[in-house]
Structure 1
Amino acid sequence: MQYTRETAINRLLESYRAYFNITMFEGEQYPLTAICEFFEHSEKYVISRQASLWAANCEEFVYLFNMEQLSCEEFERCRDFAWEDGQKRANIGPGHMYTYVTPIFICDSCREDAKAALRKSRLYKSFRFSLHGWIDFHTAVFEVEKGQITTNRSGKCVEKILKNVLFNQKKRRRFL
């Protein structure tokens, strides 16, 4: 299926809507379309909830950027914004397991220097020797004209999701 940037973003937002809290943006200083937030709390207890064995909080923040062409300077600017904003949104402390900060760039074309910078980007931070969890940076770019997805090393899981959502042509059943 041939996409435009808008149809690709709408399809991604439709798939994220079931599990993520979505905040839409327009006219900001960044080409940011939406921030999708996912929170999960898991715990195991014995007999009653007061006797908790363990608890883990997991978070993911997906930033959808929409632009004609992704340049290296624009990538670095948006990457730094997403990383800083993701760290502010993260709830670090006891019980925190991980936070993923995931900027996804939807663009018509991407310059080679931006792809190289995207592939090399590796941001990671642990808290109290990982006792209070960590933050990892996943990023991807979807070039609409080529139908090509490029990710950093940590973003391989994002590539699988994008391929499944954007290129899976099977009809999906919806249960109400």
Structure 2
Amino acid sequence: MQYTRETAVNRLLESYRAYFNISMFEGEQYPLTAICEFFEHSEKYVISRQANLWKADCEEFVYLFNMEQLTCEEFERCRDFAWEDGQRRANIGPGHMYTYVTLVFICDACQEDAKAALRKSRLYKSFRFSLHGWMDFHAALFEVTSGRIVTNRSGKCVEKVLKNVLFNKRCRV
């Protein structure tokens, strides 16, 4: 299926809507279309809730950018914004397991140096030697004109989601 940027963004948001809280943006200083937030709390207890064996809080923040052409400078600016904003949104403390900051670009074209910077990007942070969890950075790019998906090493799971949503007519996230 041939996409435009708008149809690709709408299809992604439609699939994320079932699991994520979505905040839409327009006219900001970044070409940010939406921030999707996912929160999960799991726990195991014995007999009563006061006898907690373990608990884990997991979060993911997806930053969806829509632009005509991605340059290396624009990628770095958006990456830094998403990483800092994700750190502010994260609920770090006892019981926190992980937070994923996911950056998704939908663009018509992308410069080769921006693709290289995206592939090489790696941001990771642990809290109290991972006792209070960690943060990891996922990045993905969907180039509409060629239909290619490019990710960093941590973003391979995002590539599967994008392929499932954009190229598989029956599947959703």
Tell me the CA shift for residue 48 of structure 1.
1.0
Unaligned segments of structure 1, at least 5 residues: none
Given residue 133 of structure 1, which amino acid in structure 2 is its aligned partner? G
Tell me the CA shift for residue 31 of structure 1.
0.1
Counterpart for residue 142 of structure 2 = 142
Counterpart for residue 99 of structure 1 = 99
Q: What are the equivalent positions in structure 2 for 1:4-83 lying under 5 Å apart?
A: 4-83=4-83
**How many residues were matched structurally?**
172
| 1:118 and 2:115 are equivalent in the alignment | no
3-state SS, counterpart of residue 28 of structure 1: coil
Separation of aligned partners in 1, 2:45 and 2:18? 28
- Decide whether aligned partners of structure 1 residues 17 and 114 sit closer, same or farther in structure 2, where only a CA change above 3 A counts: same
Identical-pair percentage: 87
Counterpart for residue 3 of structure 1 = 3
Q: Report the TM-score, using the length of structure 2 for normalisation.
A: 0.98
Tell me the CA shift for residue 171 of structure 1.
7.3
Unaligned segments of structure 2, at least 5 residues: none
Given residue 74 of structure 1, which amino acid in structure 2 is its aligned partner? E
Runs of 4+ residues deviating >2 angstroms: 169-172
Tell me the CA shift for residue 170 of structure 1.
3.0
Separation of aligned partners in 2, 1:170 and 1:50? 43
Separation of aligned partners in 2, 1:171 and 1:69? 29
Superposition CA RMSD, Å:
0.9
Tell me the CA shift for residue 58 of structure 1.
0.1
Tell me the CA shift for residue 169 of structure 1.
2.2
